[in-house]
Chains A and B, each alone.
Chain A
């Protein structure tokens, strides 16, 4: 059982380049999330998807777009990368039950923008 799979694991971009981070989950979860984690800090929510076809902004959505392709997949796109977007990006999923559900995380994509 793979859980949450993120690709790629590492990426180096030049300022202004674009890329898409991929995430897929095999737990039949409704909700999916994208977070970023900067060194020594906690996670900040970029975007959230409650279900297929819906997305919602989190704490730090500027500079990013997302696409909930189907129930399994939730991608994050950087249209024009900036050095401030150097970070570790985590995807997560959950059942989204009333009263709270645990999140299941992927192992992250380490992105460097030069």
Chain B
């Protein structure tokens, strides 16, 4: 069974709009990570947020973490066509270094 689940499964927006993706997980974690995957490629790490952090920024990306609700969100502001990709959250399995991925959100940014 997967630890993290993203919502929505697919999202289509216009260039310039903001995109929000959510991730829910089941057990206590010490960190949560977000990754991007362009079609046919490997995953690329975006942001890591630790359990004692509530919000983290990186360029146009903002990640929040609510450990009481066991959820995280990824906000991409002022989206571009190049942001079209699948986005995955990942959390540790069994308090280990093993990372378990959700099923992802497919984002389409229309020019």
Q: Contact residues of A with B, CB < 8 Å?
A: 4, 31, 33, 35, 41-45, 48, 50, 56, 58-59, 90, 92, 94, 96, 99-108
Q: How far is the CB of B11 from chain A (nearest CB, A)?
A: 15
Q: Tell me the complex Cα distance, A107–B98, Å.
A: 20
* B interface, size bucket: 20 to 34
Interface of B is mostly: strand
CB-CB < 8 A to B93: which residues of A? 45, 58-59
List, in ascending order, chain A residues with CB within 8 A of B59's CB. none
Instruction: Say which residue of A44, A50, A102, A108 sits within 8 Å of B48 (CB atoms).
Output: A102
Binds A, one of B14-22, B66-74, B75-83, B99-107: B99-107
Q: Whole-angstrom distance between the alpha carbons of A102 and B44 in the complex? A: 9
Which chain B residue shows the least CB distance to A31?
B97
- Residues from chain A with a CB closer than 8 A to the CB of B45 are 102-104
* Bound form: Cα–Cα A33–B104 in Å: 19
Using A59-B100, A102-B45, A103-B33 as known contacts, list a sample of 10 further A-B pairs with CB atoms less than 8 Å apart, ordered by residue number in A.
A4-B42, A41-B104, A45-B100, A56-B96, A56-B98, A90-B42, A94-B97, A100-B33, A105-B44, A108-B41
A103 touches B50 (CB 8 A): no
On whether the beta carbons of B31 and A100 are closer than 8 Å, the reply is yes
User: Within 8 Å CB of B98, what residues of A?
Assistant: 33, 45, 48, 56, 58
